[in-house]
Amino acid sequence: MWAFFFSVLLAFGIAAAGQDTGWLNPSADSGSFRNPTYAYYDDTLWASASPGNVHVYWGYSIAIPPGASVTGIEVRLDAWRWPSGVPFDAFLDVQLSWDGGASWTPPYTAGPLAGYEQSWILGGPNDGWGRSWSASDFQPDRFRVRLTAREGRETRLDWVAVRVYFSGGLSLTLNPTTVNLGTLTLDDYERGYRDWDSVQEIKLSAYSSWTLYVSASSSAWSYTGDLPDPKKPCGHLLWKVLPSPTGPVTRYQANFTPLSTSDAEVAAGSAGDARLFLAFRLLVDYDTTLPGTYTLSFRYTLVVP
Amino acid sequence: MRSVKVLAVLLGAVMGVVTGLAASVSQGSTATFTVPTLIRLTVNTATINFGSLTMDDYDLGYKELLSGQIVTVWSNRSWTLTVAADSATWTGPWAKPASDLQLKVASVSKPDRVSSYASAYFGLSTTAANVAVGVPGGNIAFTMDFKVLVSWDNDVAGDYSLGFTYTLTAP
């Protein structure tokens, strides 16, 4: 049990320090599994395999930033054996290819599978499956996952997803990309503003000292409604960096700042991986906040001088 | 002329080096929100009580109640405030017409948000009449004056009451 806890904590620590692609779906396959496309997504459908069946999935949209080093790969199998009551062990062997299926890594194994759906995560943030990987290895037609069903009666597979870990390079990811401030109320008008009830996470990785900027794409919000466009200024969206960003952040804007079409410095730091959390505030008034729907595009730019 | 050319070449070389070292990545994001039509109407008191009339009131022909009510409006689009009697006559000893109750706007808290308002007394009827018209704004307070018309000929002793309703619309 203690070993389990230690493993979990170690894995989290490594993951938090690097960047990852998130879980990605395949988009192509070939082999002998039945209903193989049902394993593209995490849903209620499944592919199935008999012992000895082999199937290959590929077409993963894996984007590794320029200059980044791949540190590890995870394959996630949401799988189970069928019939659940039959006590025959079933396994899925997993191998990875970097050259379109000409070469394969040694197999990792998921199993014995339970009689109910479980997520098996093979590999890890620091596990290259026995080799070093380059960004070109992950082109959609080159990187492949081969599954071999072994033993049991039938193996069912809901999802075969891949996550790639990397460090260094120059990358910038947002989560979420949309700041949805929701539907305004009269209380927002009375208060004069509305705070977003969530935060936007910015994960960045830089090989050298860096500066992160933000700017609006236009000087006014785009308005859709039945009234004349109030031309709500982009500066009515305020942003700030919440305290205690992680990683090598040397300075950041801790006070609400109006968005403008000029680049404003969000934060700066030294080489490495960093995470920032941004809060947003919308100014609300009766002159520029008429009934309708408003949209504003803005852009973050990470610069290494 | 020769030295100028050299300087230009050197400057160009420096700029090239700086440009060559810089690297950047960008990510786009979008902010969005929705605003429904929002209106609110409040009154500080639901009852306008003229109290007991006196002979002086009868002699004068009316009784006035100044600042008898404050009506407050919030609206995020242009709006109209109307008022109408709930019935054509008062409840009481006789069918006293609703028009014997008159009202007007005595003052407005935010005149820049009000295009027009009823600054002179008018009698109520079951047909809605404009109290004020305005542009988007909040906490726009109207202090209302009231007047009830009284005559020796018709208004026998008794208790009288008349319901009336304010309506705020933002089309």
On whether any CB of chain B is under 8 Å from the CB of A227, the answer is yes
Question: Structural domain of residue A158, as residue ranges?
Answer: 18-167
On whether any CB of chain B is under 8 Å from the CB of A189, the answer is yes
Residues A153 and A277 in one domain: no
Residue A92 to residues A43, A126, A131, A286, B152, Cα–Cα distance (Å): 20, 22, 21, 62, 102
pLDDT at A18: 62
pLDDT at A7: 33
CATH number of B39-169: 2.60.40
Separation in Å, CA of A9 to nearest CA in chain B: 31
Q: Pairing between strand A272-283 and A257-258?
A: unpaired
Determine whether the interchain pair A181/B36 forms a contact, defined as Cβ–Cβ distance below 8 Å: no
Residues A177 and A214 in one domain: yes
Residues A24 and A162 in one domain: yes
Query: Which residues 235-264 of chain A have a CB within 8 Å of chain B?
Result: 237
Tokens of A244: 């205690």
pLDDT at A139: 94
Residue A98 maps to a domain: yes
pLDDT at A40: 98
Give the span between the Cα atoms of A146 and A154, in whole angstroms: 17
Residues A124 and A202 in one domain: no
pLDDT at B132: 98
Residue A238 sits in a domain whose CATH number is 2.60.40
Helices (H), chain A: 2-17, 186-191
Which residues, 6 or more positions from B56, have their beta carbon under 8 angstroms from its beta carbon? none
3-state secondary structure of B14: helix
Question: What interface predicted TM-score (ipTM) does this complex get?
Answer: 0.82
Q: What's the pLDDT tens digit per position in A143-198?
A: 999 999 999 999 999 999 999 998 878 889 999 999 999 999 999 999 999 999 99
pLDDT at A189: 98
Tokens of A224: 């859709």
Give the span between the Cα atoms of A86 and B77, in whole angstroms: 67
Interface residue of A189, A194, A260 to substitute, partner B, most B CBs within 10 Å = A189
CB atoms within 10 A of CB B98: 20
Residue type, A200: Q
CB contact at 8 A, A40 and A55: no
pLDDT tens, chain B, 171 aa long: 333 333 333 333 323 233 344 688 999 999 999 999 999 999 999 999 999 999 999 999 999 999 999 999 999 999 999 999 999 999 999 999 999 999 999 999 999 999 999 999 999 999 999 999 999 999 999 999 999 999 999 999 999 999 999 999 998
CB contact at 8 A, B79 and B37: no
Residue A2 maps to a domain: no
**Chain centroid to CA B17: how far?**
64
When the pLDDT of each residue in chain A is averaged and rounded to a whole number, the result is: 92
Residue A17 has pLDDT above 90, yes or no: no
Interface residue of A237, A276, A286 to substitute, partner B, most B CBs within 10 Å = A286
Interface of B with A (CB under 8 A): 21-38, 40, 74, 76-77, 113, 135-139
3-state secondary structure of A38: helix
Residues A157 and A183 in one domain: no
Separation in Å, CA of A273 to nearest CA in chain B: 14
- CA-nearest of A263, A200, A259 to A234 is A259
Residues A150 and A178 in one domain: no
Residues A85 and A100 in one domain: yes
What's phi and psi for A276, nearest 5 deg?
-120, 150
Tally of structural domains, chain A? 2
Report the chain B residue with the minimal C-alpha distance to residue A304. B23
Residues A178 and A128 in one domain: no
pLDDT at A15: 31
Half-sphere exposure of residue B77: CA atoms within 13 angstroms, side-chain side: 15
Show which of A167, A193, A210 is a domain's final residue.
A167
Which residues, 6 or more positions from B127, have their beta carbon under 8 angstroms from its beta carbon? B84
**Chain centroid to CA A180: how far?**
19
Determine whether the interchain pair B113/A286 forms a contact, defined as Cβ–Cβ distance below 8 Å: yes
Interface residue of B15, B17, B29 to substitute, partner A, most A CBs within 10 Å = B29
Q: What's the pLDDT tens digit per position in A203-222?
A: 998 888 999 999 999 999 99
Residue A9 maps to a domain: no
Domain extent listing, chain B: 39-169
Residues A176 and A293 in one domain: yes
**Chain centroid to CA A51: how far?**
33
Residue A69 maps to a domain: yes
Residues A207 and A141 in one domain: no
Residue A5 has pLDDT above 80, yes or no: no
